[in-house]
């Protein structure tokens, strides 16, 4: 059963250069590392420049993989300059209701998609 990992963090950056700081903090090489996460099905990235917050929403096919990644990510992100209050929550998906509302949960893992390219 897939699980949803939601991560949130405060970003101690000035409003004037928020986009630039985010671009540098989460560069393409880091983004591409997501492609190798075990059982990851997708990730959505989010930011709120007004509140100076960032978030990530991940769908993992396996709870244990989500737990392992969450622990690593909280530690790694918390060590970055300007990143504080990193939190992670793992949610069990209500599959029947999610399918009715067309939530994208019946998808292959990214690693399977990469192998077929």
Q: Is 105 helix (H, G, I), strand (E, B) or coil?
A: coil
Considering the entire predicted model, what is its pTM?
A: 0.86
Digits of tens for pLDDT over the chain (117 positions)? 899 999 999 988 766 777 777 777 777 887 888 889 999 999 999 989 889 999 999 999 999 999 999 999 999 888 887 788 999 999 999 999 999 999 999 888 888 886 654
Q: What is the pLDDT of residue 4?
A: 98
8 Å CB contact between 103 and 19: no
Domains within the chain, CATH numbers bracketed: 3-115 (3.30.70.100)
Q: What is the pLDDT of residue 18?
A: 77
| DSSP3 helix / strand / coil % (the chain, rounded to 5) | 40, 30, 30
Q: What is the pLDDT of residue 116?
A: 58
Q: What is the pLDDT of residue 75?
A: 93
């Amino acid at each position: 059963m897939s699980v949803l990992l939601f991560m949130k963090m405060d970003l101690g950056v000035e409003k004037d250069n928020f986009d630039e700081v985010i671009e540098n903090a989460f560069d393409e090489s880091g983004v591409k590392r997501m492609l190798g996460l075990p059982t990851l099905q997708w990730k959505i990235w989010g930011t709120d420049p007004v509140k100076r917050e960032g978030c990530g929403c991940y769908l993992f096919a396996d709870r244990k993989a989500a737990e392992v990644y969450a622990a690593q990510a909280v530690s790694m992100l918390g060590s970055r300059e300007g990143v504080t209050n990193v939190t992670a929550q793992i949610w069990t998906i209500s599959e029947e209701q999610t399918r009715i509302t067309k939530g994208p949960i019946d998808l292959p893992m990214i690693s399977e998609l990469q192998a077929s390219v």
